[in-house]
Structure 1
Amino acid sequence: MKNCMSFQEIINAETPVLVDFYATWCGPCKVQAPILEDLSKRVGDQARILKIDVDKNPAVADKYGIQGVPTLMIFKNGKVVWRQSGVMQSNQLQKVLQQYI
């Protein structure tokens, strides 16, 4: 079932949201995908994980100054609280996310 909330509504939530800005043609993004699936199982409902295709959502990518993919960002209450470019392992991401849960 698709969620009908807008990106803005999702990132404005109190629950931290890890956003993966990616592209389908990006090799490192393909490496990051299963890592995020694993992380999603680990954190459950404590955080949301959202993937944004920069080619399909150029306005959102532009708004947040995404210049390279993958770029990972954590939003809480609508604010960017953390940002990192490049592939990160599940345990590293979990440690970062825990700070905002």
Structure 2
Amino acid sequence: MMHWTVKVLIAVVGAVVLERLVDVLGRRLAGGRYAWLVTPLHRACRVPAIGVVLFAASYATMPPGPAQWQRELRHLVLALLIGVTGWLIVRACT
């Protein structure tokens, strides 16, 4: 069975790969008919979207754990996930 830190590391690498794929697809869409809409939205939401995927993957792979520091770390990651999600919503709506 893998240690939870290895799972978090795999989740982070997966988040980066997913972001790269979305970036490539976004550039392809931006070159087409809806470039006026997709290009500014892609530029504005790129960094917050990376944060959402990163913190969501990290939170999903962290165990609640019996130790106090594990629960506090998981709680911190959840708070960061909520904050970055709010940032993404604000960037997408403005």
Q: Using CA pairs under 8 Å that are at least 6 residues apart, name the structure with larger relative contact order, 1 or 2.
A: 1
- Structure richer in helix, relative to its length: 2
TM over 0.5: no
When the two structures are superposed, what TM-score results if normalisation uses the length of structure 1?
A: 0.28
Q: Normalized against structure 2, the TM-score is what?
A: 0.29
Q: Which has the higher strand share?
A: 1
Looking at CA atoms only, which structure, 1 or 2, has the larger radius of gyration?
A: 2
